[in-house]
């Protein structure tokens, strides 16, 4: 009986250690986003744009900037978070801070771009605030 308890304890300890290693391997890696700017999308990207979840007409914008990955490892599936406000300080994306993603971010500094749609009745200039990203240094099943 004692032997069975000892074996069970060892197996539990091994499983705990292995699960801890897997969690470490898939930890989120922060990505700094700098030099943010935006411009209207080219006509071929903007044709037929509507606000997400509605049929309201929208303007298409490309947000560009630099992604800085200080981890030394490639990062995949980096989610971009941030807040966008119009000229009247009204939020462009109500109750939503995840704006999109970057498929791959190599170590160091690289360029990124993100396409967003903004309701046509929200005036420019847009304010881009609190932008950041985070992703994984290994493959993530989605």
C-beta neighbour count of 67 within 10 angstroms: 23
Q: Is residue 107 part of a domain?
A: yes
pLDDT tens for 50-73 read: 555 556 788 999 999 999 999 999
18 within a domain of the structure (yes/no) = no
Is 84 within the bounds of a domain?
yes
In the Cβ-directed half-sphere of 12, how many Cα atoms lie within 13 Å? 6
Report percent pLDDT > 70 for the chain: 71
Name the domain count of the chain: 1
CA distances from 8 to 1, 20, 61 (A): 11, 18, 58
In a domain, 56, yes or no: yes
Would residue 12 count as lying in a domain?
no
In this prediction, residue 34 carries a pLDDT of 97
The CATH number given to whatever domain includes residue 86 is 2.60.40
- Sign of the torsion formed by the C-alpha atoms of 121, 113, 72 and 20: positive
Which residue do the tokens 């470490």 mark?
Answer: 24
| pTM of the full structure | 0.73
3-state secondary structure of 21: helix
| Domain assignment present for 10 | no
Enclosing domain of residue 61: 29-136
Instruction: Read off the DSSP letter of residue 93.
Output: S
Looking at residue 23, what is its pLDDT?
A: 43
Does residue 81 carry a pLDDT above 80?
yes
74: CB partners within 8 A, 6+ apart: 104, 105, 106, 107, 137
Cα 84 to Cα 102: distance, rounded to the nearest angstrom: 18
- What is the average pLDDT score of the chain? 82
Handedness of CA 38, 43, 44, 46 (dihedral sign): positive
Does residue 24 lie within any of the structural domains? no
Residue-wise pLDDT tens digits, 86-121:
999 999 988 889 999 999 999 999 999 999 999 999
Please state, in angstroms and rounded to a whole number, the distance separating the CA atoms of residues 74 and 94: 32
With beta carbons less than 8 A apart as the criterion, state whether 53 and 29 touch.
Answer: no
Does residue 68 belong to any structural domain of this protein? Answer: yes
């Amino acid at each position: 009986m004692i032997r069975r308890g000892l074996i069970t304890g060892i197996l539990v300890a091994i499983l705990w250690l292995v699960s801890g290693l897997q969690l470490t391997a898939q930890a989120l890696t922060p990505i700094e986003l700098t030099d943010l700017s935006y411009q209207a999308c080219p006509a071929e990207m903007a044709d037929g744009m509507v606000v997400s979840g509605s049929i309201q007409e929208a303007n298409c914008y490309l947000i560009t900037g630099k992604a800085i990955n200080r981890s030394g490892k490639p990062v995949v599936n980096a989610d971009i978070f941030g807040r966008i406000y119009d000229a009247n300080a009204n939020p462009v994306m109500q109750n939503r801070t995840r704006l999109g993603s970057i498929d791959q971010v190599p170590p160091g500094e690289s360029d990124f771009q993100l396409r967003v749609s903004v309701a046509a009745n929200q005036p420019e200039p847009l304010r881009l605030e609190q932008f950041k990203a985070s992703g994984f240094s290994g493959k993530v099943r989605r």
